[in-house]
Amino acid sequence: MNHSMPDTYAADDDVHTRSEDLTVIILNDFCYVQGGASKVAIDDAIGLAAAGLRVIFIGAVGPVCAELGSAPLKVVCLGQPELLDVRTRPSILLQGLWNFEAGRCLSDELASLRPDRTVIHLHGYTKALTVSPVRAAKKLGFKVVCTLHDFFPACPNGAFFDYRRGEPCTRRALSSGCITANCDKRRYAHKIFRVARGVIQRGLGKFPGAVEQYIYLSCRSKEILAPYLPAQARLRGLENAIDWPRPPKVEASGNQTILYVGRLDQEKGVLLLAQAAAELGLKVLFVGDGPMRSKIENDMAMPVVGWVSRTEVRHYLASARCLVFPSLWYETYGLVVSEASAHGIPVIASNVTAAAERIEDNITGWLFRSGDMADLVRCLKFIENDTRVSEVGGAAYRAFWETATTATIHADRLTSIYRSILAG
C-alpha cells in the first residue's frame, strides 16, 4: 500500500460540509477493535456520528472494521504496520518513535476546519500513531482531549508495574531510578526504546505538557496520573458505555463455574488465582490466552478455552458462580467486571485495581489484598454459601443497572465535554 495515499472512507455527504456545528477528529492506533482503547475509540466515533456530530476517524493500522466503514463518518486509514511487526520490518522502530505521516495527515484534515468548532480526541497512540498528531494540532491552535486508557502519558511501560518483581512500581516515571530499572516485560533493550519514546513524547510531542484536557475512566487512574499532567489540566470522569441490552439476572447460586476472563499474563494475577483455587480443590475456567497459558493448562491442570467472542463471553458469564479479577497491576477500568455485575454475577477483585472502586466489599462483591493468596482463598470461601452468592449477585445487578451508562447517555455526556472544552 502507498503510505502517502491513505485509504479514505466517507458517508455519502461530505463530512466537511455537513450542517452540524461541531467536528470531532478521533485519533487511534487501529481502525479495528484490537483492544479496549480501540473499542472505545470506535464506539465513540460511531455513537457521536449517530448523534449527529461530524466525525473524522484517523487510524494508523488497518483494516477498517465493518462497523466503522459503514457508519456516517469519514475514516482515514494510513495503512501502516504496528510496532509489533518490528521483527520483520526493523524500520518500524523509527515510526514507533515519531510517526511523521500521522502528523501530516491530521494537518491536512485541519486545513479546512475551524479551531473554535473542532476537537481532537486522542485514544490509543503507542502501537503505531505516536503523539505526532498532537503536536500538529497544537501548532495549528486546535484543542486536544486525551482519554487515559493506560499510564503511557507518564510511565514508559504504560502500567506502573515492575514485571521483574511482579508488583506495582512506585518509582517516579522517567527519573534516573526509573530509567535504570530493568522492569520491562521482555528485556532491558525494550525498556530503553520505551524510555526514548517517552522522552520524545514529552519533548518533541509536548505531551502531556501541552494538553490540558483529559478524560479518566476511574478515580484510581486519575489519582496515579494527575501528578504527571499539567498543573492547569482539567480532568473529567466518563465511564465507558455499555453496548449490550439488559439481560435477565443470572441465578449465580445455581452455577458452579469460577470464571476468569482476560489475558493470561503475569501482571494479571492468573497464577495467584490458579494456586488459590487449587488450595481449595477448586477449578477455574480461564477464558483468554497469553504466556501463562501452558503453565495454567498443563502444570496446574486448569481448563483454558482461549479467546472467544463477546457473545461467547456472556455465555460463560451466564453459567458462572463468580468472576475473579485478580490483577496485580492497577488497571484503568476492567470492563469484564461491569459485564459480570450486569448479569448478576458476584465479583472477587484485587483491591489495587481500578475495578475495585465499582465493588462495595461484601455487598456487591468481595475485595482481597493484591498478591495475597491467603486473602484470595478467604474470599473464594464466601462463594460456598448459596444464599450469599444469590444476595451479592442480586445487589451487584441492581447497583449496575441503576447507574448504567448507555451508548446514548455516553454520547450526550461526551458531546457536553467537547462543548465545554471549546467554550473554555
- At residue 176 the predicted structure's pLDDT band, cuts being 50, 70 and 90, is very high
For position 11, what pLDDT does the model report?
55
For position 18, what pLDDT does the model report?
44
Among 74, 83, 72, residue whose Cα is nearest residue 47: 72
Cell of residue 374, nine digits: 491467603
Q: Are strands 347-350 and 234-237 parallel, antiparallel or unpaired?
A: unpaired
Q: Are 313 and 336 in contact (CB under 8 A)?
A: yes
The model carries a pTM of: 0.89
- At residue 12 the predicted structure's pLDDT band, cuts being 50, 70 and 90, is very low
The helix or strand, by DSSP H or E, that contains position 316, with its residue range, turns out to be helix 310-318
For position 309, what pLDDT does the model report?
86
Asked whether the predicted pLDDT for residue 164 surpasses 60, the reply is yes
pLDDT tens by residue, 267-306: 999 999 999 999 999 999 999 999 999 999 999 999 999 9
CA 279 to centroid of chain Cα atoms: 32
Q: Are 10 and 78 in contact (CB under 8 A)?
A: no
Phi and psi angles of residue 65, each rounded to the nearest 5 degrees, phi first = -70, 155
For position 244, what pLDDT does the model report?
84
215 DSSP β-pair partners: 147, 236
For position 5, what pLDDT does the model report?
52
For position 347, what pLDDT does the model report?
99
| Residue 216: CA count within 13 A, CB half-sphere | 21
Among 205, 177, 175, 179, residue whose Cα is nearest residue 191: 179
- What mean pLDDT is predicted for residues 299-316? 93
- From CA 76, how far away is CA 90, in angstroms rounded? 25
Query: Is-cis flag, bond preceding 291, omega within 30?
Result: no
Which has more pLDDT, 5 or 323? 323
- At residue 424 the predicted structure's pLDDT band, cuts being 50, 70 and 90, is confident
- At residue 2 the predicted structure's pLDDT band, cuts being 50, 70 and 90, is very low
Q: Please list, in sequence order, all residues whose beta carbon lies within 8 angstroms of the beta carbon of residue 57, skipping any fewer than 6 positions away.
A: 25, 26, 28, 31, 41, 42, 45, 68, 73, 74, 75, 76
Q: What percent of the chain has pLDDT over 90?
A: 85
Terminal C-alpha separation, the chain: 41
Q: Under CATH, what is the fold of the domain 252-402? A: Rossmann fold (3.40.50)
Cell of residue 179, nine digits: 530509567
CATH superfamily membership of 7-153+207-241+406-423: Glycogen Phosphorylase B; (3.40.50.2000)
Domain positions in the chain: 7-153+207-241+406-423, 252-402
CA 205 to centroid of chain Cα atoms: 22
Q: Are 373 and 278 in contact (CB under 8 A)?
A: no
- What mean pLDDT is predicted for residues 121-144? 98
349 DSSP β-pair partners: 325, 367
- From CA 18, how far away is CA 51, in angstroms rounded? 13
For position 16, what pLDDT does the model report?
42
For position 310, what pLDDT does the model report?
81
pLDDT tens by residue, 141-153: 999 999 999 999 9
- At residue 218 the predicted structure's pLDDT band, cuts being 50, 70 and 90, is very high
The amino acid sitting at 339 is E
Asked whether this chain's domains 7-153+207-241+406-423 and 252-402 adopt the same fold, the reply is yes
